[in-house]
Amino acid sequence: MTTTTTHLIRAVETVEGTRTDVLVRDGVVVELGSGLSAAGASIVDADGLLVLPGLVDLHTHLREPGGEGSETVLTGSRAAAAGGFTAVNAMANSSPVADTAGVVEQVQALGDRAGYVTVRPIGAVSRGLEGTHLSEIGAMARSRAAVRVFSDDGHCVSDPLLMRRALEYVKGFGGVVAQHAQEPRLTVGAQMNEGALSAELGLAGWPAVAEEAIIARDVLLADHVGARLHVCHVSTAGSVEVIRWAKSRGIDVTAEVTPHHLLLTEDLVAGYDSRFKVNPPLRGHDDVEALRAALADGTIDIVATDHAPHTSEAKCCEWDSAANGMVGLETALPVVQRTMVDTGLIGWADVARIMSTTPAVIGRVAGQGRPLAVGEPAELTLYDRSVTRTFSVDHLAGKSVNSPFIDYDLPGRVMATFHQGYATVESGRVVETETVARAAAGVAARRLAIETGASTR
Amino acid sequence: MRHLLSTADLALDDALRILDIAEDMADVSTREVRKLPTLRGTTVVNLFYEDSTRTRISFEAAAKRLSADVINFAAKGSSVSKGESLKDTAQTLAAMGADGIVIRHPSSGAPRVLADSGWVEAAVVNAGDGTHEHPTQALLDAFTMRRRLHGAASRGRDLDGLRVVIVGDILHSRVARSNAWLLRTLGAHVSVVAPPTLLPVDVSRFGVDVYYDLDEALARVRPDVVMMLRIQQERMNEAFFPNAREYARSWGLSAARFRALPATAIVMHPGPMNRGLEISDEAADSPRSTVREQVANGVAVRMAVLYLTLAGDREDSL
């Protein structure tokens, strides 16, 4: 074992505003306090940096299997680490679809081998995402991947009966259905937010009501059957109102908002630049304000990236033909800082909650989103809040470059990420693939030795 | 003038320049030799991703009267349907030396994407993009109105105070959009009339008055111009309105409605017409109908646009 397993993070600031050293050994935080001994440890000078629990993304498209031209589990994991994430939940719309135990186990194994982040596969709700028959939900839940989040994301589970059954079925093992809320008949051929601008640009409208009507139906269904519902990428002020009402009634619903819906508006579509084509579409200023307020007051629980890589062929064309989606792992934390923290809406402890603690709880991601305390897993992100970067393609670490934030001035930079106690990002750079894979293999071997040792004793 | 992509961002001076040069071009058409050497050695490609024989022929005639070489590229049913992208097609045309690309495309914004892409150096002229714009149609409509209004003294004049009513499928009409913005720039007052299903939910950026009832609109506005839009048959299958009879009864320019118009009002239609649906024979064939003038003026206006984009300074896009 050549990889250092002991790290001393010196003089880092916590989300509560205190300063501490953090000693990490064998994947665990073993000591906190000032002036800790450095014997045998690699030193990380974290003066001026903030320590966050490793970020957890509940909504990531890793594209593998089937879409390796735009992203793989490995390249997406690198992008995640670069953005300060230590866990991602991989959406099911791969090819083949993640609707069987075999596919979800494969995705999880690829994630484990890459070693940059914990990869938690999301299972499809319906077979082939076709919205007609339930997928092998139980088999995926019982598989080695132990799937707990189910979603047809990219498609809405629009059939109310199928949605009801899915909500009921996953209740049996503490699962959750993450709904892509989009009434399909109201969004046939939809290209952008429906309003004055879509009328001017001659692009078919994606009306807010198509999202809000599905959310309203789903919270009532969740209430009726006593199940847990998660709403993906909330994009409208009206959706916020529906969710606020549902929560006030005690309905077990959680919701996410993407970084791009917190910052960007539909005005960007006016040049027909397909980097700004995304589903749900960019909305108006009032929607952005409502989403920020809802995230601040807890109506919206978390930020999730909806990281959606696409090849340049899929984006470099006329608007109608261009694929929906934006990459977002690397920019998530800076965009949250710009839209939520620098605006005074929330503090850093809230950032830890909405980007780590709560997503881990919703997704039942073990060992993630934990507080900074002795004995907790060393899943940590060190973040420099004081810098501002003009974001460029060079700052992306995945395979695709379809970021809407190119040339935006964004605050903050992830300087280090620790996953299972080893560094995946060091000095602001993603650690080499082989080094990380070796460290991950070391952790797996150690864990296996402990387990087998325990069982033979 | 670098490109002609839309009328929404066309300034009054530029619009008048196009219309005035079109007057000169129309004069050429009355001469014995109806041809100018202006664009000799220049190649114009008509890149049509949608069938539109009428628009294509109009651009072709315009280019040929300016002595340009014309290549017609009917992208529908060619390599494009085999998966060739707009980018590849455009670069192929650029490699062949196209100086101007006249593009008709089913996707809104495709001409803008082509012009902004850096894939081609050529001037781009929008010949209709999706449900967005059809700027040369609006220019030829404005040209036709101006000639009816001011006759031989049209040069330099705008359409100040002209009352125009546009009737039909505003939601899907690129002709309506381009006309709304151009006519407003020229000083006209525009109203649109349609069943609510065939209007965008928010038309605030159109700068027009909105009516659902045609008779009310005609009575209130007392229009100088009534422009009837073509109703696509497939709209009936998409539940925009119940059936053709009901549409014709409510929003068609019937003989009775035509007779009730102010005596000087003209009737326009971009063609092709659905007689008996949006327009009656009596209106379509009356001397106050400009349908055939619109076709003839189309060539003159497109000559002006090709002249300005290909022979002029080509500085900014219009």
**CB-CB neighbors (< 8 A) of B116 in chain A:** 271-273
Buried b (16+ CB within 10 A) or exposed e, A39-76: eebeebebeebbbbbbbbbbbbbbbbbebeebbbbbbb
The residue of chain A nearest to residue B118, with distances taken between CA atoms, is A316
Same fold, B12-132+295-310 and B135-290: yes
A54-363 CATH pick, 3.40.50.720, 3.20.20.140, 1.10.3720.10, 3.30.590.10: 3.20.20.140
Q: What is the pLDDT of residues B41-80, one digit of tens each?
A: 999 999 999 988 999 999 999 999 999 999 998 877 555 5
Task: Write out residues in chain A with pLDDT < 50, as ranges.
Answer: 1-2
Question: A44 and A382 in contact (C-beta within 8 Å)?
Answer: yes
For the sheet with B69-74, list strands across it.
B69-74, B43-48, B100-105, B123-129
Residue B174 at interface with chain A, using a CB cutoff of 8 Å:
yes
Q: Of the listed A99, A153, A301, A306, which one is catalytic?
A: A306
How many angstroms separate the CA of residue A270 from the nearest CA in chain B? Answer: 9
The string of DSSP letters for A127-178 reads: GGG-SSSB-SHHHHHHSTT---EE--TTS----HHHHHHHHHHHHTTT-EEE
Residue B112 at interface with chain A, using a CB cutoff of 8 Å:
yes
Within the 86-105 window of chain B, which residues sit less than 8 Å (CB to CB) from chain A?
86-87, 105
Residue B134 at interface with chain A, using a CB cutoff of 8 Å:
no
**CB-CB neighbors (< 8 A) of B110 in chain A:** 272, 318-319
Share of chain B above pLDDT 90, in %: 81
How many angstroms separate the CA of residue B175 from the nearest CA in chain A? Answer: 11
**Residue contacts between A and B (CB atoms, under 8 Å):** 75
How many angstroms separate the CA of residue A446 from the nearest CA in chain B? Answer: 51
**CB-CB neighbors (< 8 A) of A315 in chain B:** none
Per-block mean pLDDT, blocks of 10 residues, chain B (318 long): 95 97 92 91 94 94 97 74 75 91 96 92 96 98 97 95 97 97 98 97 97 98 97 81 93 97 96 94 97 95 97 55
Buried b (16+ CB within 10 A) or exposed e, A119-145: bbbbbbbbeebebeebbbbbebbebeb
CB-based contact B129 A202, cutoff 8 Å: yes
Name which of A198, A272, A316 is nearest B87 (Cβ-Cβ): A316
Q: What is the pLDDT of residues A350-386, one digit of tens each?
A: 999 999 999 999 999 999 999 999 999 999 999 999 9
In angstroms, how far is CA A325 from the centroid of its own chain? 14
Query: In this prediction, does ipTM exceed 0.85?
Result: yes
The whole-angstrom separation of Cα B318 and Cα B300 is: 18
CB-based contact A271 B202, cutoff 8 Å: no
Residue B189 at interface with chain A, using a CB cutoff of 8 Å:
no
How many angstroms separate the CA of residue B180 from the nearest CA in chain A? Answer: 11
How many angstroms separate the CA of residue B226 from the nearest CA in chain A? Answer: 22
The residue of chain B nearest to residue A272, with distances taken between CA atoms, is B109
Domain segments of chain A as ranges: 6-51+377-444, 54-363
The residue of chain B nearest to residue A269, with distances taken between CA atoms, is B109
Indicate the residue type of A41. Answer: A
Q: Is the peptide bond before A309 cis (omega within 30 degrees of 0)?
A: no
DSSP, collapsed to helix, strand or coil, labels residue B260 as helix
Tell me the CATH architecture of domain A6-51+377-444. Answer: Roll (2.30)
Residue A384 annotated among the catalytic residues of the structure: no
Per the CATH hierarchy, to which homologous superfamily does domain B135-290 belong? Aspartate/ornithine carbamoyltransferase (3.40.50.1370)
How many angstroms separate the CA of residue A217 from the nearest CA in chain B? Answer: 24
H helices of A226-344, in order, are 237-248, 259-263, 285-297, 312-315, 332-336
Q: Which of A192, A201, A315 to mutate to test the interface with B (most CBs of B within 10 A)?
A: A201
Name the packing angle between helices A285-297 and A237-248 (round to 10°): 30
DSSP, collapsed to helix, strand or coil, labels residue B209 as strand
The residue of chain B nearest to residue A318, with distances taken between CA atoms, is B110
Q: A15 is written with which tokens?
A: 């989300």
Beta-bridge partner residues of A411: A388
Output the CA angle A35-A40-A45, nearest 5 degrees: 50
Same fold, A6-51+377-444 and A54-363: no
**CB-CB neighbors (< 8 A) of A196 in chain B:** 200, 202-205
Share of chain A above pLDDT 90, in %: 95
Domain segments of chain B as ranges: 12-132+295-310, 135-290
B65 — alpha (psi -120 to 50), left (phi > 0) or beta?
A: alpha
Between the CA atoms of B71, B77, B83 and B89, what dihedral angle is there, to the nearest 10 degrees? 10
Name which of A191, A194, A271 is nearest B201 (Cβ-Cβ): A194
The whole-angstrom separation of Cα A428 and Cα A426 is: 5
Name which of A205, A313, A316 is nearest B201 (Cβ-Cβ): A205
CB-based contact A319 B107, cutoff 8 Å: yes
Tell me the CATH architecture of domain B12-132+295-310. Answer: 3-Layer(aba) Sandwich (3.40)
Please give the span between the terminal C-alpha atoms of chain B, in angstroms, as a whole number.
6
Res B34: pLDDT: 87
